């Protein structure tokens, strides 16, 4: 069934980075920006869908939805926390979409946040490992840099992808983020710097890895009828897809493509009645540089094995034919896990309405976002389009 009714009328994020703010403070800031500061009174919000990944281990706090709502001045609303590891934000968004499409609500808040610098980097890595299969992966020492290193090696072996190819993704991310005031790293890097052999898990080096970040993001969804009340610049949600896969990498048929990404994007395209060729740009889940290359193939932007070449040729650059992660991606903007999927939606929204400033893409009517969790055991793909397109 095609989606008919859901519009994004505002979207915002806090600065990402190591912030001197608590989880609840960041969340409240993002909500304020996406509501009152964007012309949507808080009194209009009827329900909230919240993405957080692992606040239990990072800030010793579960049951985050009512707590964060309260601090954002929205005490009392129906509010649930949605979790699918690094795809938590997009699963909250998808729940919000269903809430609008079902007719339950006219106006809802979707928000995500994570406070990660409250613990040491080792503790954060340990907490993130809860997204892998504890019985077969994390308990035997396989944490996420290692898991994605396995995927990188497989891609190198099968397609000849090189460390330099991956480093180029990082250079592009930092270039795009250099003009994004909300990015954790607003600094270009050279290919030589990206190739600095500070290995985290061979072949992945420091600059292949997204950072530990604090941050929050929020957006407001409304029914089409209601949208006009808030803005002439709304963005339609025209397709959404979600899929899962085995948690354990050992159970996958292949390591150079993530099945959940392929299925989720196929379903999103089908719902939208469009194909990858109809997308003007993409925002994909680049938790590691190899993840962006694989995602660009999995969502059909490039043939399997051709993602690295596209980066090399500048096709995915801000001024390329098929821009990917135009604001800087997880790599350079930061990756406060629960916020990421919501922030990705916010990037697509801003590009589509032409509010991306120095990061504005030339052709920006239709965009796709790809948010995945773990080593792709969860994936959500959404397609947005200018409402008057």
Active site residue 287: no
Nearer to a second copy, 367 or 373 (CB): 373
Q: For residues 41 and 104, give the distance between their C-alpha atoms in angstroms, rounded to a whole number.
A: 19
3-state secondary structure (DSSP) of residue 362: coil
CB of 121 to a second copy, least distance (A): 18
Residues near a second copy (CB under 8 A) are 1, 22, 47, 53-54, 56-57, 59-67, 69-70, 75-85, 91, 94-95, 98-99, 101-104, 127, 130-135, 138-139, 241-247, 251, 259-260, 263-264, 373-374, 377-378
CB of 359 to a second copy, least distance (A): 30
Nearer to a second copy, 251 or 313 (CB): 251
Nearest-CA neighbor of 5 among 225, 297, 177, 213? 225
Nearer to a second copy, 82 or 226 (CB): 82
Active site residue 86: yes
Structure tokens that stand for 16 in this block: 């990402």
Q: Which of 82, 86, 155, 287 is catalytic?
A: 86
Residue 210 DSSP code: P
CB of 245 to a second copy, least distance (A): 6
Q: For residues 9 and 346, give the distance between their C-alpha atoms in angstroms, rounded to a whole number.
A: 10
Q: For residues 27 and 68, give the distance between their C-alpha atoms in angstroms, rounded to a whole number.
A: 7
Nearer to a second copy, 17 or 374 (CB): 374
CB of 6 to a second copy, least distance (A): 10
CA 143 and chain centroid, separation? 20
Q: Which of 155, 335, 364, 370 is catalytic?
A: 335
DSSP string for residues in 156-204: HHHH---HHHHHHHHHHHHHHHTT-TT-S------HHHHT---EEETTE
Under 8 Å between Cβ of 296 and 307: yes
CB of 116 to a second copy, least distance (A): 14
Active-site positions read 86, 335
């Amino acid at each position: 069934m095609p989606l008919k009714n859901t519009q994004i009328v505002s979207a915002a994020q806090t600065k990402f980075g190591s912030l001197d703010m608590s989880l609840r403070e960041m969340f409240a800031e993002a909500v304020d920006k996406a509501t009152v500061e964007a012309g949507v009174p808080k009194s209009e919000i009827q329900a909230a869908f919240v993405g957080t990944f692992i606040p239990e281990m990072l800030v010793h706090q579960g049951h985050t939805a009512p707590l964060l709502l309260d601090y954002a001045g929205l005490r009392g609303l129906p509010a649930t926390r949605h979790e699918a590891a690094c795809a938590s934000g997009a699963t909250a968004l998808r729940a919000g979409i269903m809430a609008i499409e079902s007719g339950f609500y006219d106006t809802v808040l979707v928000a995500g946040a994570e406070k990660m610098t409250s613990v040491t980097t080792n503790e954060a890595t340990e907490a993130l490992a809860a997204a892998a299969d504890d019985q077969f992966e994390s308990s035997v020492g396989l944490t996420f840099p290692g898991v994605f290193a396995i995927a990188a090696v497989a891609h190198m072996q099968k397609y000849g992808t090189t460390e330099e190819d991956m480093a180029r993704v990082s250079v592009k991310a930092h270039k795009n983020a250099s003009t994004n005031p909300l990015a954790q790293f607003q600094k270009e890097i050279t290919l030589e710097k990206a190739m600095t052999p500070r290995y985290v898990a061979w072949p992945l080096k420091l600059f292949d890895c997204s950072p530990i970040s604090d941050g929050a993001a929020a957006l407001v969804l409304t029914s089409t009828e209601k949208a006009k009340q808030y803005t002439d610049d709304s963005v339609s949600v025209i397709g959404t897809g979600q899929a899962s896969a085995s948690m354990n990498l050992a159970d996958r048929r292949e390591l150079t493509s993530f099945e959940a990404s392929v299925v989720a994007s196929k379903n999103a395209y089908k719902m939208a009645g469009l194909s990858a060729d109809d997308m003007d740009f993409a925002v994909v889940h680049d938790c590691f540089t190899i993840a962006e290359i694989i995602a660009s193939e999995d969502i059909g932007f490039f043939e399997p094995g051709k993602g690295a070449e596209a980066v090399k040729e500048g096709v995915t650059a801000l001024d390329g034919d098929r821009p990917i992660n135009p604001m800087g991606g997880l790599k350079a903007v930061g990756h406060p896990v629960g916020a990421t999927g919501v922030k990705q939606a916010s990037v697509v929204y801003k590009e589509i309405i032409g509010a991306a400033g120095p990061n504005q893409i030339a052709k920006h009517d239709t965009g796709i976002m790809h948010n995945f969790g773990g080593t792709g055991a969860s994936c959500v793909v959404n397609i947005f389009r200018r409402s008057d397109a």
